[in-house]
A and B are shown apart, each in its own frame.
Chain A
Amino acid sequence: MILNVDNISVNYGAINALRDISFTLNEGEIVALIGANGAGKSTSLNTVSGLLRPTTGKVEYLGSDITTVTPQAIVNLGIIQVPEGRKIFAKMSVWENLEMGAYTVKDRKVIQERYEMVYQKFPRLKERRNQPGGTLSGGEQQMLAIARGLMAGPKVLLLDEPSMGLSPILVEQIFDIIQEINKTGTSILLVEQNALMALAIADRGYVLDTGRIVLQGDADDLLHNPTVINAYLGGETTD
């Protein structure tokens, strides 16, 4: 188990956003965290990233407790979040955004290698490396957001709704890339409202509803679960 989220509750002031939720991520897995808008998916990721502190429960990374560790120390450990809405530094150039992704990497040679890897995966970014990030299209910005995450050399990648606002073709592309990244040894926690796509590439999944985990299991089982089909897959059957 590379990541173990154990019984955490998170509040925003008086609002109770997560109640005693637990989930795990094993080495090499893709785990999908699905749920409607406001279910608490981003809150879960932000808690893992150390931006929010749970009132109860703990977060463990490779067996050690990281519940009270600072966000930057968590990045240093190799847990990297690609936030919802891409959050590109709009006024900084593409390469400066990538450089920010590699902020915790000290070795210039490693950074150089990562540039090559990232530019090979996303040739568009290389063409536009001197352009302000804010001038990229939505799809390109998502690519940049993922590329920026890869610059840190993640062991665990937390992806928050990477398909948001993208055309079906682009979503397809992004999900292919996510699988590719996973194959090179990065464990992935994938947050999605697009349950069908997410479960299609995931090993396991959790369904989150108003701050609670209501279902969990193998991705295939969830894809055929009547509750999931009705609530999250618009009632269509999958195959």
Chain B
Amino acid sequence: MNDPSSLPLTPKGNNNLQTNTNTAAKKLQAFQNSKFMKLLRPILGVVVSLYIVFRLYQVLVVHQEYGADTWTRLLISGLIIGGVYSLIAIGYTLVYGILFMINFAHGEVMMFGAYAGLYSFWAFKIIPIAGDPPTNFLNAYPILAIILAFLIGMTVSATMGFFLEKIAYRPLRKAPRLVPLISAIGASIFLQNAAMLLFSPQLRDVTNPDILRRGAGWTIVINGSNVILPYTGVFTFILSILLLVGLYILVRKSKLGRAMRATALDKKTAALMGVDVDSTISRTFIISGALAGAAGVMWGIHNGLVYYFVGFIPGIKAFTAAVLGGIGNLPGAMVGGLLLGIVESMGPAALGIDFQLKDVLSFLILIFVLTFRPSGLLGEVLSEEKV
């Protein structure tokens, strides 16, 4: 067996065999190839497509319920939330690419970033700055305050990612694949409860600097009605895109990025090149954590509420986005995040269903992608290892 993880980095005198790590994946694949699924797939596909076409026809042609202004509003909010999903989704995909596991505690890593942002702003607000009238650090130096809040949030989450891997996943590196998954779910529950104890179960309001007041924004007129382009949203979206581009360049062009890709492709051979596989895995978690931390701070700035459960839904949505784009595939996670944001925002209106159902829509997408195209939209994954 040429599974690379069976060879390197075993403790002294304990060169263990890789055992039934892959049986779960094989069972899943066997199920996906079974007669039942072969029959179900086209039937489900036709039914769903017909339904979607019918609803779209009703909403867009027959009733014409919404004007261009509403669609623009929905598109804007979809892009903003989509950028945040993309940032979180990157973490799922990077970790999957290198360890073939889903880091289900990733949403909690983001939640801690959101708290770090919240408390940073709160602390900056109570640092007085003399002047006429007297003000505070948050509003006297808003740009510096925002930069600091992001640095703190990203550092907190990066540190969490680092320790999460070291404590919850590294000892299980040789275990069957299901085991680290369970550990991830355990870590997720643990971190939620830890946050609840640390920060109390209360919902907290994030105090933005005045230049990023929530609700304020540029106004554009479409169809004779005002569409607001919120400052927080524009800021969030631009920063997401910058971070995504930066990460892409890091992974494609830098030495660290090459080491990450080589490690994802073949750990044993990467080690033979002199790559420290363990530290590369650690760095992958640090980078994923930092991006999730940035997403958390953005979430606080744009949505305004932070609580111990705040990472859960975005975490699952971002996981959906990563699967949608093709888990393990970097551009896939970015595109998947934006796409999911837009679908979730415009989908209920387009299908003429209740806006409350947007989460249901996301999870239906997850189920459909897993059923019809488990490799995701952008197909190929980073890793060549066959399951």
Contacts and interface: CB of A to CB of B under 8 A. Distances in A.
Contact of A52 (B10, B265, B384): B10
B258 A99 contact: yes
Category for how many chain A residues contact B? 35 or more
B16 interface: yes
Interface string A68-100: 101110011000110101010111100010011
B2 interface: yes
A182 to B, nearest CB: 20
A79 to B, nearest CB: 10
A10 interface: yes
Given A10-B15, A13-B16, A92-B261, A152 B274 contact: yes
A71 B15 contact: no
A91 B272 contact: no
A51 B258 contact: no
Nearest to A104: B274
Main secondary structure of the interface of B (DSSP, over half): loop
Interface string B257-285: 01101100110111111111000000000
B8 interface: yes
Contacts of B10: 52-53
Contacts of B269: 83, 87, 89
B344 to A, nearest CB: 32
Contacts of A75: 272-274
B35 interface: no
Contacts of B13: 11, 53-55
B2 A76 contact: no
A235 B204 CA distance: 83
Nearest to B11: A53
Nearest to B276: A72
Contacts of B382: 91
Interface of A: 10-13, 15, 46, 49, 51-55, 68, 70-72, 75-76, 80-81, 83, 85, 87, 89-92, 96, 99-101, 103-104, 148, 152
Interface residues of B, number: 30
Nearest to A73: B274
Contact of B274 (A51, A72, A92): A72
B12 interface: yes
A13 B17 contact: yes
Given A89-B266, A99-B258, 11 more contacts: A15-B17, A51-B8, A51-B268, A51-B272, A53-B13, A53-B15, A72-B271, A72-B274, A89-B269, A91-B382, A92-B261
B242 interface: no
A21 to B, nearest CB: 16
Given A72-B276, A91-B265, A85 B2 contact: yes
Contact of B12 (A13, A49, A53, A104): A53
A54 B10 CA distance: 11
B7 interface: yes
